[in-house]
Amino acid sequence: MPTVSDTQLPIGLAPSPEPTVENPRSLRTAGLFAGIGGVELGLERAGHETVMLCELDDRANDVLDDRFRHVPERQHDVRGCELPSGIELVAAGFPCQDLSQAGRTQGMRGSESSLVSHVFRLLDTHDVPWVLLENVSNMLRLDRGDAMRYLAAELEKRDYRWAYRVLDTRAFGIPQRRKRVFLIASRVANPAASLFDMSVPEPATPDHEGRAVGFYWTEGNRGLGWAVDAVPTLKGGSGLGIPSPPAIWMSDDRIVTSDIRDAERLQGFEADWTAAADERQGRSRWKLVGNAVTVDVAAWVGRVIARIPEHGEGPVGARPLPGDGSWPTAAFGSSEGRYSVGVSQWPSLPARFTPIDEFLKFEPKLLSHRATAGFYKRLMASRLRRPAQFERALEAQLEVFGATPVAV
């Protein structure tokens, strides 16, 4: 294992090779809660075929209309949708609003996240051999793991074997610290036979000196989201109730926010992927991007699904899970038992990791006077630990604006 020295990740190292199979499977896929198509685009890059999309949000549908014109069937409300014949994989990045730390934390009782029940309704009426679910990692801890327990139980009732793993977007060479649960379930194979094959230790975080640091300017009371050489998780909402980009403390002491096109790239999309939604509402693109699934991560999961052997066992050394309490970051199970797995959130090292200040292609803009002043006031009233240089950078930015207020 290479030593991490002067950068967060080794530069120029070849990634760990992924296992290959002679005849990888290609599955006909229905994407539910499709959003702007992050899961579906990733699965297509892995060789799967999208034949149906279901999404309720009008702005997201503007994007899907523009980017997925090749998909033959479109539906809009999961509560009434039906699957076309021949679907082999149902993919659902179901709503996270009731499960995320930034959301309502009502768990599976919430009006949004409980919509995943319609996935199981469809599985009861259609013979679907494969399922892919995605959501925030907070669901493993919220209400002592009640959400994950519900998902596992519903899959086991229907004779699915399942395996999940928390994956960090940074492991795929993108400077966004984004940790999400990806759960694969199957009636015809054991997902645990491939999902945990690759694992490397998460590289140590370097000191902030001379580096760009991402943080949440909408926070400051209880946390910062501090991310060296990266940005914290892009979110559809925030502590102030608005969709907005994280701020970046650049190495030259400017405090900036990224262009929406770089935010799209931080989710693995090409720049202007959401341009079709631009005319509806000013902040709509930020919300769409923040709620999306990182394409590169979905593509890796899609390749795992393509190579899972029909006859395979789970990893050696797995430990039985207790009946209650929070869930680990990786596990697998079936009606015969549930087990935890000691793998990291990094399947491999990326070929190259580009720090956030080098990643940006479009000119960022200074965080506004109003936003900077509000964050600075909250930060100074808190007990949060922060470098003295960070405080001075905020103060210098306020001096640049002077007394002239600028809208957020």
Identify whether the C-beta of residue 326 lies closer than 8 Å to the C-beta of residue 144: yes
Sheet order of strands, 330-334 included: 73-75, 49-54, 28-32, 89-92, 130-136, 179-186, 161-168, 330-334, 337-340, 319-320
Query: Catalytic residues, which ones?
Result: 96
Task: Convert 123-137 to b/e letters by CB count within 10 Å (16 or more is b).
Answer: beeeebbbbbbbbbb
Tokens of 58: 């009008």
Phi-psi region of 263 (alpha: psi -120 to 50; beta: other; left: phi over 0): alpha
Map out the domains of the chain with their CATH numbers: 28-202+292-340 (3.40.50.150), 213-270+354-401 (no CATH)
At 279 the pLDDT is: 65
pLDDT of the chain, 408 residues: tens digit per residue: 333 333 444 433 345 567 666 679 999 999 999 999 999 999 999 999 999 999 999 999 999 999 999 999 999 999 999 999 999 999 999 875 544 455 445 545 544 557 888 999 999 999 999 999 999 998 999 888 888 999 999 999 999 999 999 999 999 999 999 999 999 999 999 999 999 999 999 999 889 999 999 999 999 999 999 999 999 999 987 655 566 789 999 999 999 999 999 999 999 999 999 999 986 555 789 999 999 999 999 999 999 999 999 888 999 889 999 888 899 999 999 999 999 999 999 999 998 889 999 999 999 999 999 999 999 999 999 999 999 999 999 999 999 988 443 443
Phi-psi region of 394 (alpha: psi -120 to 50; beta: other; left: phi over 0): alpha
At 12 the pLDDT is: 36
Token match 């005849």: residue?
Answer: 23
Give backbone dihedrals phi and psi of 273, rounded to 5 degrees, phi first.
-55, -35
Beta bridge partners of 31: 53, 91
Cα gap 53→30, rounded to integer Å: 6
**CA angle centred on 71, ends 70 and 77, rounded to 5°:** 145
Identify whether the C-beta of residue 52 lies closer than 8 Å to the C-beta of residue 75: yes
At 9 the pLDDT is: 43
How far is C-alpha 264 from the geometric centre of its chain's CA atoms?
13
Tokens of 108: 């599976």
Tokens of 152: 């596992």
